[in-house]
Structure 1
Amino acid sequence: MADTDIGAETDDPLVREHRIKQQAAQEQRRDAVVRIVRQTVTFVVFLGLLAGLYSGYKAFGQSIDDAQHDWPVVGSVLPRTDDLNMPPVGKIFGQFGETPGGRDRIYVHILFDEAIFTLREAFAGFMVGLVIGMVIALALAQWRRLEQGLLPYVIASQTIPLIAIAPIIVIWGRKNFDVFPWEWQDWMSVSIIATYLTFFPVAVNGLRGLQSPRPENQELMESYAASWSQTLWRLRLPASLPYLFAALKIAATASIVGAIVGEISAGVEGGLGRRILREAFNYTTGPDRLFASVLGAAVLGIFVFLVVTAVERLVVGNQPQESTT
């Protein structure tokens, strides 16, 4: 009798469905762990490979410099190296634990504070660029003639060198934006520079995503007499998510670049840009600190990329990703 009850419980469709869902959830968690481990191992191996190539070339260039003559062909093409222009990898990573200038804080803590400062500026520029880019994408997707007339100017805006436009934005911000209720701060100019690099990939890829639904799907929405807003929320925006997140990965890292360049131009007191500039001025006395600060900027860029990737997996799931080209 007991065996019959167990068999009946096992044959219950609801029980089987529950077990299938549990197994699927376990497999997803296992796959996620395997993926994270694989990506971590790949990153560490690749980082070790880069460090090995760096150290190998440094040793090779040092041998050329010590020989005081150029090797045939190779020695005349590849530059010589020494500890000043290529500090040892050990000294670069060891700098993170040093206390420069007699301070009571190690260098990695200093870089962390500078990175937080830069991240705030970049985040403000990223959010403003996201809004501007999506507004442009929505407008171009809605009006075909506007796309034909405005899109070339959107593309042309990215041909202006950032190093040229950054000082202009800083000067305009200091002299022309005092009409706001608050006093204009230099970090706001830095965020605008980050916005300048952020809006473009969002606008272009957002437009591509909004135009990606198949004609038959759009005709189906029209047959249901769906309004423009209903078509947007139920068809166009969901279809554009893979395209949009592909653009957001580029925009997030570009906002870091824009913030760093803006900090150098605006003369703000903090941030990785100013830190890199300070270490460049003191390069002859501490070249390893400049390399360490640049490495810190790279880590910040990787961090924001991973954050966007994590959000993408939560929102989009396993849909195929689209490129920005």
Structure 2
Amino acid sequence: MAVGSVRWRPVALGAAGVLGLVVLWEGYKALGPAEGVTVAGQAVLPRTTDLGMPHVWDMIGRALEPATSIEGAAPVWLAVVQAALVTLGTATAGLLLGTVVGILLALLMQRFVVAEWAVQPWLILSQTVPLIALAPLVVSWGGRLQLGPVQWETWMSVGVIASYLAFFPMAVGALRGLKSPEAAHTDLFRTYATSWWTTLLRLRLPAAVPYLLPALRLATAAAILGAVVAEVSTGHKGGIGRLIIEYAQSGSADPAKAWAPIAGAVLLGLFAAGLVYLLGLALGRYRRQEETA
């Protein structure tokens, strides 16, 4: 199989997945009951009315129209893009913080077995705390902080919450990668009396790349999700999460408009995943083991 066809295969599969979702949406809208499907009094499938499920082409057409009736208002798609960029910036800050914390914890656990026994259970427990309960605490604690002239702002709370979701996959993936070198290789470095720091730079970090890239993909998705949810929970304006709430309030009068920021959030996640994929291409020389990692 040609190299070009291998590289384009994920793109083709992704496009086929999007097309399949459109067909499924329109097929259910055409064939499903207007009031949806309920089982034992619980709704399991949505209504197929235009209020509940607008046509795909109606949503696309609405995205090209002005967001409001005010003269000179920006189109919906532009408002969504601007909000997505705000969320991307906040999520990137959270991802960087989560990556640094996750890798530092992994280094600590790899260096000291006692630290791994002590820290790893807390890593797992940390992911059981719901964001709905965490967001008000972060905002409250952050509001009391002031580092010199720097005042704590709401977007910082959103970034901290995003990092809270991102650090876990990075810590687990980095720890697995740092412990991946074969015993023969580590024994060779030990035979030459190589320091832990040199072994880390020359052996463990290069060996960890095939594990860090999948972990980074998960962390990126988690950071985007955390930022969107945190924007809703904290009331931070300007991001895609807040735009979802604002557009949903006019859902009964303008249902097609309410789906635009949701689609924007999906595309934001795909864009972030694409950036990680490009990073993986740049680190191709270290990715030989990624398929089996």
Which TM-score applies when normalising by structure 2?
A: 0.92
- What is the identity, as a one-letter code, of the residue corresponding to 1:313? L
For residue 253 of structure 1, report the CA deviation from its aligned partner.
1.2
Which residue in 1 is equivalent to 2:89? 120
User: Within 5 A, what are the aligned runs for 1:291-306?
Assistant: 291-306=259-274
Which residue in 2 is equivalent to 1:136? 105
Q: Deviations over 1:185-207 (max 9, x none)?
A: 11000000110011000001100
* Structure 1 unmatched ranges of 5 or more: 1-26
Which residue in 2 is equivalent to 1:185? 153
Distance 1:57 1:189 in 2: 40
Contact 2:170 2:212 in 1 (8 A): yes
For residue 179 of structure 1, report the CA deviation from its aligned partner.
4.2
For residue 146 of structure 1, report the CA deviation from its aligned partner.
0.9
For residue 94 of structure 1, report the CA deviation from its aligned partner.
1.6
For residue 168 of structure 1, report the CA deviation from its aligned partner.
1.3
- What is the identity, as a one-letter code, of the residue corresponding to 1:185? E
Q: Deviations over 1:144-200 (max 9, x none)?
A: 0110111100110001111211121112112x2124430111100000011001100
Which TM-score applies when normalising by structure 1?
A: 0.83
Which residue in 2 is equivalent to 1:156? 125
Against the structure 1 CA distance between its residues 249 and 77, is the aligned structure 2 distance closer, same or farther, given a 3 Å change threshold?
Answer: closer
Which residue in 2 is equivalent to 1:41? 12
Distance 1:244 1:183 in 2: 34
Contact 1:166 1:261 in 2 (8 A): no
Contact 2:67 2:79 in 1 (8 A): no
Distance 1:294 1:316 in 2: 33
For residue 39 of structure 1, report the CA deviation from its aligned partner.
2.7
**In the alignment, is residue 98 of structure 1 matched against residue 65 of structure 2?**
yes
- What is the identity, as a one-letter code, of the residue corresponding to 1:154? L
Determine which of 278, 282, 289 is the counterpart of 2:250.
Answer: 282
Distance 1:112 1:134 in 2: 32
Distance 2:60 2:77 in 1: 10
Structure with the bigger percentage of helix: 1
SS in 1 for 2:201: helix
Which residue in 1 is equivalent to 2:50? 83
Which residue in 2 is equivalent to 1:53? 24
For residue 294 of structure 1, report the CA deviation from its aligned partner.
0.4
Distance 1:323 1:110 in 2: 42
Which residue in 2 is equivalent to 1:172? 141
Determine which of 170, 181, 194 is the counterpart of 1:226.
Answer: 194
Q: Deviations over 1:7-30 (max 9, x none)?
A: xxxxxxxxxxxxxxxxxxxx9xx7
Contact 1:243 1:323 in 2 (8 A): no
Against the structure 1 CA distance between its residues 153 and 77, is the aligned structure 2 distance closer, same or farther, given a 3 Å change threshold?
Answer: closer
Distance 2:190 2:224 in 1: 42
For residue 308 of structure 1, report the CA deviation from its aligned partner.
0.5
- What is the identity, as a one-letter code, of the residue corresponding to 1:43? G
- What is the identity, as a one-letter code, of the residue corresponding to 2:21? L
Distance 1:247 1:177 in 2: 31
Indicate the structure (1 or 2) with the bigger Cα radius of gyration.
1
SS in 2 for 1:208: helix
- What is the identity, as a one-letter code, of the residue corresponding to 1:41? A
Q: Which one is further off, 90-99 or 132-141? A: 90-99
* Structure 2 unmatched ranges of 5 or more: none
Q: What root-mean-square deviation, in Å, do the aligned CA atoms of Structure 1 and Structure 2 show?
A: 2.3
For residue 79 of structure 1, report the CA deviation from its aligned partner.
4.7
SS in 2 for 1:52: helix
Distance 1:250 1:35 in 2: 23
Distance 2:85 2:142 in 1: 23
For residue 70 of structure 1, report the CA deviation from its aligned partner.
8.4
Against the structure 1 CA distance between its residues 98 and 211, is the aligned structure 2 distance closer, same or farther, given a 3 Å change threshold?
Answer: same
Identity of aligned residues (%): 38
For residue 323 of structure 1, report the CA deviation from its aligned partner.
7.8
